[in-house]
């Protein structure tokens, strides 16, 4: 969803241009940013979340907007980990952690950064 918001902000010049625009519009077979509104009105949560790997792909191409989205997402995960660590009963370690979802499964693009974050916080 953040990738789509970034495309809209770039289209109305609130943010600089981003490779997310051509990547996401191309993946959705849309010719114009204006078409995003009607697509979003019909899209399921799954269809929107299926765009996440494309945002990560664009981030890997050094697009500052996509990299910002990635870092923001990882910061949110870090905050969750902090809260879990603070509220976990003392002495009850290790804290069990399940990595689920396509982005975190074995070979998923976020698995390694999240595991590294967990190990660092541990």
- Is 68 or 103 the better-scoring residue by pLDDT? 68
Average model confidence (pLDDT) for the chain?
92
* 58 Cβ neighbours under 8 A, 6+ residues apart: 3, 18, 19, 20, 23, 65, 66
Pair of tokens at residue 87? 């509220």
In the numeric block, the tokens 């849309």 are attached to: 30
C-alpha to C-alpha distances, 110 to 58, 85, 86, 88, 92, nearest whole angstrom: 14, 20, 23, 24, 27
C-alpha to C-alpha distances, 25 to 29, 93, 111, nearest whole angstrom: 6, 46, 26
Reply yes or no on whether the pLDDT at 122 is more than 80. no
Where on the phi/psi map is residue 13: left (φ > 0), alpha (ψ -120 to 50), or beta?
left
| Interval 12-62: pLDDT, tens | 999 999 999 999 999 999 999 999 999 999 999 999 999 999 999 999 999
pTM: 0.85
What does the domain layout of the chain look like in residue ranges?
2-121
């Amino acid at each position: 969803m953040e990738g789509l918001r970034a495309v809209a902000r770039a289209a109305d010049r609130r943010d600089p241009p981003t490779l997310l625009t051509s990547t996401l519009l191309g993946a959705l077979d849309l010719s114009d940013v204006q078409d995003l509104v009607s697509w979003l009105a019909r899209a399921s949560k799954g269809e929107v979340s299926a765009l996440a790997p494309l945002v990560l792909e664009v981030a890997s191409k050094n697009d500052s907007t996509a990299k910002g989205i990635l870092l923001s997402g990882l910061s949110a995960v870090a905050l969750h980990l902090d809260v879990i660590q603070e509220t976990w009963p003392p002495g009850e370690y290790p804290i069990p952690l399940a990595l689920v979802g396509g982005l975190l499964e074995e070979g998923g693009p976020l698995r390694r950064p999240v595991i590294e974050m967990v190990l660092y916080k541990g």
